[in-house]
């Protein structure tokens, strides 16, 4: 991993605390009775796994379901 540092001298720098919202997209598959139950299950799974990402300093905010499609059975 590349370290990104200020080019200014250490005695001229000031510390800042920055809050950033980072979005990502992930597709999950669930078996559910209907779309509403599928939405609830996905959000519950995402929130249940929050402990893993908290170790890296992240906190899950909003969970927005972007698309939901019924998968074709083969």
Query: pTM for this one?
Result: 0.64
What are the C-alpha distances in Å from 47 to residues 6, 31, 43, 51, 59? Answer: 36, 18, 6, 8, 10
| Residue at 58 is within a domain | yes
> Are residues 43 and 66 in contact, defined by beta-carbon separation less than 8 angstroms?
no
Could you tell me the pLDDT band of residue 20, with boundaries at 50, 70 and 90? confident
The confidence score (pLDDT) of residue 59 equals 81
* Nearest alpha carbon to residue 39 among 70, 11, 1, 2: 70
Q: How many domains does the chain have?
A: 1
| Residue at 32 is within a domain | yes
| Residue at 57 is within a domain | yes
| Residue at 69 is within a domain | no
**By residue range, what is the domain housing residue 43?**
27-62
Specify the residue for token string 């927005």.
64
Q: Residue 8 above 80 pLDDT?
A: yes
| Residue at 1 is within a domain | no
| Residue at 17 is within a domain | no
| Residue at 67 is within a domain | no
């Amino acid at each position: 991993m590349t370290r990104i540092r200020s080019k200014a001298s250490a005695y001229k720098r000031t510390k800042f605390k920055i809050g950033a919202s980072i979005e990502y997209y992930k597709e999950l598959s669930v078996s559910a009775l209907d779309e509403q139950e599928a939405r609830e299950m996905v959000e519950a799974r995402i929130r249940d796994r929050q402990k893993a990402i908290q170790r890296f300093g992240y906190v899950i905010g909003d969970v927005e379901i972007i698309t939901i499609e019924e998968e074709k059975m083969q």
